């Protein structure tokens, strides 16, 4: 099989990082992130070609984004 080694479909099973998508696809205009998965449009678009480490870096940023989005919406 040919292809780039960083493609998600070519990753070893242990390197597969599940998408945080929960099928609530609405962008928050103020923050620029999806209110469902908390990713930016660029992160959503690139997800299928990111390597496992890059996906984990995106996932690591999500709790802080959720806290920021929640505190902004509570005002």
The domain locations on the chain are: 23-73
Alpha helices, DSSP H, located in the chain: 41-46, 52-73
* 50: region left, alpha or beta (phi > 0 left; psi from -120 to 50 alpha): beta
Model confidence, pTM:
0.77
pLDDT (tens place) for every residue of the chain, 75 residues total? 344 444 445 556 678 999 999 999 999 999 999 999 999 999 999 999 999 999 999 999 999 999 998 887 776
Contacts of 44 (CB under 8 A, 6+ apart): 21, 34, 37
């Amino acid at each position: 099989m040919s292809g780039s080694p960083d493609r998600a479909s070519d990753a070893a099973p242990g390197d597969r990082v599940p998408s945080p998508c929960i099928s609530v696809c609405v962008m928050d205009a103020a923050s620029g992130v999806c209110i469902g998965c908390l990713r930016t449009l660029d992160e959503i678009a690139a997800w299928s070609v990111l390597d496992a480490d890059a996906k984990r870096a995106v996932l690591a940023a999500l709790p802080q984004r959720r806290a920021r989005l929640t505190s902004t919406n509570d005002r």
